[in-house]
Amino acid sequence: MIRRLALFVIVTALLVAAAVWLADRPGQVVIHWQGWRLDTTVPVLVLALASLALKLVRAIIGFPRHVLANRQARRTRDGYRALSDGLAAIASGDPRRARKLARRADKLLEDRSLTGLLTAQAAELSGDESDAERRFTTMVERPETAFLGLKGLLALAQKRGEQGAALDYAHRAWALGGPTDGIAATLFDLQARAGQWPEAEATLMEAKKRGAMSNGDVLHARALVLLERSRVTADPAEAVKLTLSAHKADSGFVPAATQTAALFHRLGKPRKAESVIATTWRINPHPDLVEASMALAPAETPLQRVKRVEKLVRANPDSPDGHMALAEAALAAKLWGQARTHLQAALAERPTGGLYVLLAKLEREETQDEAAAQAWLAKSTTAPAEPAWVCTKCNKSADSWSVTCPHCGTVDGLVWK
């Protein structure tokens, strides 16, 4: 500041001295050029020339800085373009182009934190896991990119089947609080896989509070937790309380209904068992419910069974499973007409191999028409199979439902299809 002031005083003094010196030496200047005539005094001409020279010097000195600023702006612009094109290449699954653009963006943009996600994802996409891991780890260090870094590390650990490491990353990402983006469901899944049911239940409560999972998903996952807790409870009264809560959390969930019914049956409360089965049948008609209902009275006659199934199906009468269950009960009771009606209704809705086998049985038992029976059986070999519990992850089927897939261990992987 003081140096600037001193410079200002000196320059002003010099200018004043120069002006005084020029004023003391008057003189005329006349310029003739191309028919033009310019009349002026020497001081004016000197001042005009000095001002022109000053402008020229400033332009020459400022030139490189101007060029540099322009170049820097162009580099930044090209860097951002490489960054956005690279992210587009990731989205379209082009690893080679993504890596090339990531390298370009890295070179052009000075701030590496901007290019971290692109370079890490490009490395991951092209299968360079150790490079991706290194870059995601760097992202974890900055609070602004920590969540994305942890998410990347979590995905890598899951891909490698490192459950312990995955659980740790999911915990840390969840603990950051901010954007949750699928982490709640992943953390729940990892905790359930590790058998940490109380922790998984706590995650659900927190997810509900944060709005990180849909209400329906929270209720279904809670039903899983309660069902699993009931399975390991020694006290039957406590166990039925837990399964009943599971059934109430997700009333369409068949395994919760059948387990609750079985426990009520064991406690000598068949009415309650029947009510639970009927509630779920109304929402989700399923053959396991028919089986659970029949298990409540194993000594019934075929005719009593027909009555039992009729009563259950009435709450939701038009499902193919309802018609199949009624046809089977009617066949066992030799009620041929009723059996035929329901088999034909089921045939219109869902012709499966199992259905053709029942039609063949009907032809054999009612009219002893072997030719007709063989015709149905021939159809059964090419017809689609009956629905079954199939894992959404490994696509293998299981004989009965369990919380984890018996083949690949996926939690809640088994669906009826």
Chain positions contacting Zn ion, by CB under 5 A: 391, 393-394, 405, 407-408, 410, 413
**Closest CB 353 distance from Zn ion, rounded Å:** 23
- Contacts for 281 with CB less than 8 Å, ≥ 6 apart: 289, 312, 313, 315, 316
The residue (of 317 and 409) whose beta carbon lies closer to Zn ion is 409
| Integer Cα distance of 236 and 266 in angstroms | 8
The residue (of 224 and 263) whose beta carbon lies closer to Zn ion is 224
**Closest CB 413 distance from Zn ion, rounded Å:** 5
**Closest CB 392 distance from Zn ion, rounded Å:** 8
DSSP string, 178-214: S--TTHHHHHHHHHHHTT-HHHHHHHHHHHHHHT-S-
The tokens of 289 are what?
Answer: 């419910």
Contact in structure between 76 and 109 (CB atoms under 8 Å): yes
Longest Cα–Cα distance of the chain, Å, equals 141
**Closest CB 208 distance from Zn ion, rounded Å:** 27
**Closest CB 406 distance from Zn ion, rounded Å:** 8
The residue (of 316 and 397) whose beta carbon lies closer to Zn ion is 397
**Closest CB 412 distance from Zn ion, rounded Å:** 11
The residue (of 176 and 408) whose beta carbon lies closer to Zn ion is 408
The residue (of 233 and 397) whose beta carbon lies closer to Zn ion is 397
**Closest CB 141 distance from Zn ion, rounded Å:** 37
The residue (of 408 and 415) whose beta carbon lies closer to Zn ion is 408
The tokens of 326 are what?
Answer: 């009624």
| Integer Cα distance of 59 and 320 in angstroms | 88
The residue (of 335 and 391) whose beta carbon lies closer to Zn ion is 391
The residue (of 169 and 389) whose beta carbon lies closer to Zn ion is 389
CB burial of residue 401 (10 Å; 0-12, 13-18, 19+) = middle
**Number of Cβ within a 10 Å radius of residue 16:** 10
**Closest CB 394 distance from Zn ion, rounded Å:** 3
| Integer Cα distance of 321 and 300 in angstroms | 21
**Closest CB 398 distance from Zn ion, rounded Å:** 8
Cα torsion 127, 128, 134, 135: sign: negative
Place of tokens 């045939």: 347
Using CA atoms, how far residue 175 sits from 168, 197, 384, in Å, is 11, 18, 47
CA dihedral (322, 328, 329, 332) in degrees, to 10, reads 180
The residue (of 152 and 413) whose beta carbon lies closer to Zn ion is 413
